[in-house]
Structure 1
C-alpha cells in the first residue's frame, strides 16, 4: 500500500508540473498577441516584427559578427524554453534566414511553438525507444505521456488528472466495512407504503373493459343461459393462514365488499411472531392480501362485524374472552373482557364463546354473548371491563347435570328480551333475559324443542321485516337449526306442542333422541316415581331436511328473500334452498374446489341499509378447514324478493309438508 501511495504522489507531482507549464505557455501566447497588436502597421513595422522573432529564435552570435538587425535586437538573450520541452535535444545553429519578401513565405513561429514542435525526424530516429514498465501493484495507464511527435494530449491530461484525484480521494478515506447497516424505516413510511399499495391494487383489480363500444346496442341477455352460481373469489395467504381453519365469517354492513373471517391457531407455530388466533378483513377488490389483520392471544371461534360501527369488529375466543378491534388502530385489540378469575364479582365466560349477537338500534345497542358453560352476558362496546348483565342458564330437569352447554344463540327479531339457545346434546330452549310477571329470567323448561340427536351447530331466527304484511306476520317466529346428525330443521317459536309426544308423567326429561329418552333401560334417571315433577311439553320441527351429505355445520337465511337460505356441510358442499319451490332438494348446489369440510357460510349485507338502495344480496362467503374463504355469486333471479307472493308460496309449501 505504501508503494501504491508513493506512485500516486509522484504522478500528482508530475501533473502539477504539467499544469504549470500549460499556464506558462498560455501566458506567453497572450503576451505575444498583445505585442503584435502594439506594433504599427506597414512594411517597416512588419519587417521589424519579423526581425525580432528571428532574433529570438537564433542563438547569440560572436561580437565580431555583423548583423543587419539593430544592436539592441541582436543582443537579446535566448529566451528560456518551455518546461514541456526539457527532454528535447540541443538545437543546432541555423543559418540566417533570407530577407523577407512579398513572394517568399517565411516560417514565423513563436519560440514556444517551436519548442512544442519537438525534434526533427533525424533526431527522433537517433533516439533510443523508451521502455515502459508496469508493476503488479499499478495496472493503470500513466497520467500523461508524450506522443511520438512530442505533442501533449491536453484532453487526456484532464481525464487522467481527474482519475488520479478520485483514486487519491478513495485512498484518503478511512477504511469502512463494505456492508453498512441500512437506516431504520419509520412506522409512518411503512404505513404510507402499505396504504398506497392497497389503493393501487384496488384500482388494478377493477373489472373495466377498455374496448367497450358505446355505439353498439347490446342484445337482450337470456338469464337462463348464465350460471346460477359461480365462484368469483378465493382468499388465501400462506404467510399467515398456513394450517389454520376458518371458524366464523361475517360481512360488513357499511361496506358490502368487506368480508371478515376468524381463524384458529396453527398446528405448529413456525415463527415467534405467529399469533394463536387471527381475524382477517378481506376486500373483494384486492386478491392477494387482506385489508386488515388482527391478532388474538388464543383461537378466535366467533366473529361479528358491528352493523352500527363500520370500524369495529368483535370476536369471541376459545378462552372465554370477548375482544374488540378497531380498524383505525393497530392489529391488537383495543378492548377485551376480563377472564373468569378476574371478573370483580361478576360472572363472565370461562369457556369458548361460540355466539355473538348485536341487538338494539344505532343509538342504543348492546352485545350479547354466550359460552359453553351456560353463561349469557350483555356488554356495552364502550366498556368491556364488566358486563352490564350476566345470566347463568340452569336446567334442573336434566338427570345428570344442570349446566347448559350453549353452542348457538339468537335473539328474537322483534322481542329482544327473549332469546333461543341450542345445546350440545341437541335440544333447544327458549329463555328470558329479564324477570317478568310470573316468569323468571333463564330457561323456559315448560317447552323443549326436541328434534336433533347430536350437537346443534347453528340456530338462526328468520329475519322477517317489521313492516311485512299479515301473511308474513302469521309466519313470524320461524327459526332454522343445523346439527351433526346430518339434518336441518325449521321450527316455529310459538308452535303448539305435538300431540303424539309423551307427557312429563311418562319420562322426566326429553333427550335429543326420543327412543333413548323414553326407555327406562337407556335413561333410568329420567323415571322418578313418587315425586311431583314439573310439567313440560315437547315441540317438534315443522320441516326436517335430511338430504345432506355429512355433518351440517351452518345455515343462514337470506337477508331479503323470505324463502331462501344457504347451508354448508363437512363434505365441502354448499347448498342453496328455496323453500317455496322444494322442501326436499336444494335449488343450487356446488362443491368447493378443495372438497374440504366447510365450517361457516354467510350472505353479504347489501340491501340491509337505506343507503344501499334497491341492491340485493347475491354473494355467499364460505370457509372451512383448509383456511380458504370462497366467495360465490348467486344469479339475481333466484334471490330477488317478490313481496307477498314469496310469503304466500312459502306458507303453501309449509302446509303441504308431511307431518313428522
Structure 2
C-alpha cells in the first residue's frame, strides 16, 4: 500500500492525506468436484483358489476337480503364458519385500505393556419371572452379532409347572428384548448353530429329545426326534460334523450314549455308541457323558468327558463297537464340564472339572502335563482362546471369570474378574477371541470384551507354546517311567515278602519242634535235679543220724 500526498492550491485550506490502493485485486472461487467412494476389499486365499462348489478340505473333491482342469486343452498354454509373468513377479518379491513391517517390534512391545483387563458390554436377562439357568451359549457364525442362549433348570425336581420352556436368540446390541424366541417341547440344555448354514440351529432337551430350528420359519421347531429313539437323560452337548451336506451332528447324554443324527431324517439316529469301559455295550455299566470334543482336522476321532471324571477317547471308524473306545484319561474327582482340544496344537486338550483345569497330551494317559491350583470354588466351564495358543478361560461357582496365560505365569490367572454375584454355569468365546459370553445360574448372560493383549497373537507365541508343551510332556514321560519302575520294584518286593512269609511259615513248624524238644530237656533236667536233691537230703539225714548216735555213746 502506498500513501500519496496531494497538495491543493485552494485558498485558506491545509494539505490533506488520501489513501490509494495500488495492489492487484484478488478473488477466491470454489468449485464442487466429482466425489468418488473408495472401498477396501480383501480375499481370504486359503488354498488353490477353489470354486465355491468345491470344499478344499475334502480330498476327493479336490482330486476330481484337479483332474478335470488338467484335461482341458488350454491348460498347458495358459500355464506357459502365466509362467513368464509369475517369474517376473517372483523376482520382484525377492528383490523388495513390500509387506515388510518396519515398526512391528515396537507395536508388540506396546501391546505387552498393556495391563490385562475386561469390561462388560451388555447384560441379557431371562425375561421370565421364574429364573432358570443359562446352560449353554452359541454365537451366530456370520458376523457374530447374535447370541443364542439355552435356559433350563438342571436341579432335580426343582422345575415348577409355571416355569417357561422358552429359549432365546439375542441381538448383542439390544439387551431389552430377545430377537427371537425358541419354543421347544422340553427345556433346552444345549444348542449349537450350524457353521455352514447360519439359519439352522440344533438343540438337546432336558427329556433327551433332539430338536432343530430354521430361523427363517419362525419360533416353532422344524422337527424333533421321537422319544423312543432319543436319549433317556438330558442332552448336555451337541456338535456339528464336517460333512458334504452340512446336516450331520452328534449328541451326548448322561444316559451313557453318543448318538449320530442327520436333520433330514430325525426319526432315529444314524449311529449309536454305548460308553461302556468294559467294551461289552451294556447301558448298566455305561459312563454318563457331560461334554464332547470334535476336531475337524481329525474326522474319525472324538472325545467324551464323563460324570465319573474320565475322558474317553473314541474312534468312530473302528470296525467293531468294542474297538471304538480307544483309551481313557483319569485325573478329576467330579464331572468334566468342559473338554476342548487346543485349536493350534490338537494333540493337547483342556479339561475343566471339580476345582481344577488340566491340560493333557494324547501321548500320556497316566496324568495331565499341566494343571491349575485347586480353587476354593467349583469350576463349571472353560475353553481355549481361538486366537492365542497359550490362553484359556474358566468360570467358577463364585461368579468369577479367570483368564490364564501359561506363558506369562502358571500359578495364578493373568486376569480374574468378578462377573456377577450368582454362580456362573456356562461360557463361550467369539471366533475373534475378543468377546466373551458368560451364563449364570439365574439366567443372566453377560457379554464381556477383553483387552487387545489377551486376544492378539504375540511374537513367537506359537514357538514358545510348542516348547512349553514338549517340555512338560517330556517331563511327565520321565516321571511316568520312574513311577512304572517304582511299581515294578514294589511288586517284586511284595512277591519277595510273600515268599519270606511262606518260608517263615515253614520255619514255624521247626521252631515248635525245637520248643517241644527244649521243654522235654528242661523237664528232664528238672527231674534229674530233683532226684539229686532228694538223694542229697537222704544222705544228709543219714549223716545226722550217725552223728547223733556217736554223741550218745560218748558220755
TM-score range (shorter-chain normalised) is 0.5 to 0.7
Deviation at 1:476, TM superposition (A): 3.4
Q: 1:463 to 1:225 in 2, by over 3 A?
A: closer
For residues 45-100 of structure 1, the C-alpha deviation after alignment (integer angstroms, 9 at most, x for no partner) is xxxxxxxxxxxxxxxxxxxxxxxxxxxxxxxxxxxxxxxxxxxxxxxxxxxxxxxx
Tell me the equivalent position of 2:193. Answer: 305
Alignment partner of 1:425 is 2:308: yes
For residues 335-383 of structure 1, the C-alpha deviation after alignment (integer angstroms, 9 at most, x for no partner) is 111112xx3xxxx311111111111056445201111112111111222
Q: 1:386 aligns with which of 248, 265, 268?
A: 268
Q: 2:353 aligns with which of 464, 468, 483?
A: 483
Instruction: For structure 1, list consecutive stretches of 5 or more residues without a partner in the other structure.
Output: 1-219, 465-474, 498-538, 606-615
Deviation at 1:452, TM superposition (A): 0.7
Deviation at 1:317, TM superposition (A): 0.9
Tell me the equivalent position of 1:72. Answer: none
Tell me the equivalent position of 1:554. Answer: 381
Give the 5 Å matches for 1:380-529.
380-396=262-278, 402-436=285-319, 440-444=322-326, 447-464=327-344, 475-484=345-354, 486-493=355-362, 495-497=363-365
- Which structure shows the bigger proportion of residues in strand conformation? 2
Tell me the equivalent position of 2:426. Answer: 600
Structure 1 Cα separation of the partners of residues 175 and 294 of structure 2: 35
Deviation at 1:265, TM superposition (A): 4.8
For residues 172-221 of structure 1, the C-alpha deviation after alignment (integer angstroms, 9 at most, x for no partner) is xxxxxxxxxxxxxxxxxxxxxxxxxxxxxxxxxxxxxxxxxxxxxxxx9x
Contact 1:600–1:623 under 8 Å retained in 2: yes
Contact 1:241–1:627 under 8 Å retained in 2: no
Give the 5 Å matches for 1:51-200.
none
Structure 2 Cα separation of the partners of residues 618 and 357 of structure 1: 23
SS in 1 for 2:393: strand
Contact 1:265–1:298 under 8 Å retained in 2: no
TM-score (norm: length of structure 2) = 0.61
> For the aligned residues, what is the CA RMSD?
2.8
Structure 1 Cα separation of the partners of residues 160 and 290 of structure 2: 28
Give the 5 Å matches for 1:202-351.
228-237=117-126, 239-240=127-128, 242-265=130-153, 275=164, 277-340=165-228, 343=229, 348-351=230-233
Contact 2:427–2:438 under 8 Å retained in 1: yes
Structure 2 Cα separation of the partners of residues 448 and 226 of structure 1: 40
Q: 1:403 to 1:439 in 2, by over 3 A?
A: closer
Q: 2:393 aligns with which of 542, 560, 566?
A: 566
Contact 2:213–2:222 under 8 Å retained in 1: yes
TM-score (norm: length of structure 1) = 0.51
SS in 1 for 2:462: helix
Alignment partner of 1:577 is 2:392: no
Structure 2 Cα separation of the partners of residues 548 and 356 of structure 1: 29
For residues 276-335 of structure 1, the C-alpha deviation after alignment (integer angstroms, 9 at most, x for no partner) is x22211111212011111122222111111111111111111111011122112322111
SS in 2 for 1:296: coil
Divergent runs of 4+, >6 A: 397-400
Tell me the equivalent position of 1:619. Answer: 435
- Which structure shows the bigger proportion of residues in helix conformation? 2
Contact 2:242–2:296 under 8 Å retained in 1: no
Structure 1 Cα separation of the partners of residues 391 and 116 of structure 2: 18
Q: 1:641 to 1:546 in 2, by over 3 A?
A: same
Contact 2:400–2:418 under 8 Å retained in 1: yes
Contact 2:170–2:177 under 8 Å retained in 1: yes
Deviation at 1:552, TM superposition (A): 0.8
Q: Matched residue pairs, number?
A: 363
Answer with 567-576 or 553-562: which moved more.
Answer: 553-562
Q: 1:651 aligns with which of 466, 484, 487?
A: 466
Structure 1 Cα separation of the partners of residues 189 and 438 of structure 2: 15
